[in-house]
Amino acid sequence: SDVDAQKRASGEAAAELAESGMVVGLGTGSTAAWFVKALAARKLDVTCVCTSVATADLAAGLGLRIAELGETREIDLTVDGADEIGPGLSLIKGGGAALLREKLVWEASKRCVVIADAAKQVPLLGKFPLPIEVVAFGHKTTQLRLCDALAECDIGVAPRLRMKDGAPVLTDGGNVIYDAACGRIEDPAALAAALKSVTGVVDHGLFLDLADLALVGTVDGVIRLEP
């Protein structure tokens, strides 16, 4: 499909940014998977830090050397997908339930590059439901506090527990995910702060001031977006 071709083109373009000797952060999701495959195909001497068990399994299967976050020197380059790319390369991530490990790897990286198909680029964040990672213990109580925090940001929606096959989706870290269909996020920084202030909230999918470059696959090829 066109979308898949755009994801693949952006992932392959990002793989050209890697060099032997680098420590490379590997993102999670279908676009990031194209990057991992293209990186492995280059047969560089790199050490990879993974943002999910799923990515680690893919990378190991392709023969990439893997190290745990914190066990290497600083990460030179992290490449990862996104659910939305907004103004200033502000992002919504977490569609793949990997946002916590992704954000930890991103914050430990010298350079972060987002890869995506053209549909991910939006004029304002919020159409994609914002993933919020919550400790499983008492999460229904935390959900009530999330409603209050969202209301304080003039977002009158109730976050919904993400389910799969009749059970709550659990992250690699054993937490649950709530998705808030905000619609429009006028002040992402204010919302990010409000969410983090709720006890039981581990983190959320707003990635602000973290992306250094976006490589977006379009019908006319891969375009570069700077913050």
Instruction: Point out the catalytic residue in the list 12, 84, 102, 133.
Output: 102
* Helices 188-196 and 139-152, axial angle in degrees (round to 10): 150
Q: How far is CA 160 from the centre of its chain?
A: 19
Determine if 8 is a binding residue for ligand DER (CB under 6 A): no
Q: Report d(CA 218, CA 126) in Å as an integer.
A: 22
Q: Tell which one of 25, 86, 95, 126 touches ligand DER (CB under 6 A).
A: 95
- Name residue, tokens 């010298």: 110
Residues 174-203 that bind ligand DER (CB under 6 A): none
Alpha carbons within 13 angstroms on the beta-carbon side of residue 187 total: 10
Tell me how far, at minimum, the Cβ of 98 lies from ligand DER, in Å: 5
DSSP one-letter code for 24: E
Rank residues 33 and 40 by Cβ distance to ligand DER and give the closer one. Answer: 33
Tell me how far, at minimum, the Cβ of 54 lies from ligand DER, in Å: 10
Asked if 102 is an active-site residue, the reply is yes
Q: Tell me: is residue 27 an annotated ligand-binding position.
A: no
Residues 99-138 that bind ligand DER (CB under 6 A): 99, 102
Q: Report d(CA 189, CA 209) in Å as an integer.
A: 10
Tokens for 22? Answer: 């680098």
Q: Tell me: is residue 148 an annotated ligand-binding position.
A: no
Q: Tell which one of 14, 98, 113, 214 touches ligand DER (CB under 6 A).
A: 98
* Helices 2-15 and 30-41, axial angle in degrees (round to 10): 40
Q: Which residue in 13, 58, 53, 11 sits closest to 31, CA to CA? A: 11
Determine if 218 is a binding residue for ligand DER (CB under 6 A): no
State the Cα torsion 223-224-225-227 to the nearest 10°.
180
Determine if 83 is a binding residue for ligand DER (CB under 6 A): yes
Residues 17-46 that bind ligand DER (CB under 6 A): 27-32
Determine if 159 is a binding residue for ligand DER (CB under 6 A): no
Residues that bind ligand DER (CB under 6 A): 27-32, 80-83, 93-96, 98-99, 102
Active-site residues: which are they? 102
For the annotated binding site for substrate, the residues are: 28-31, 80-83, 93-96, 120
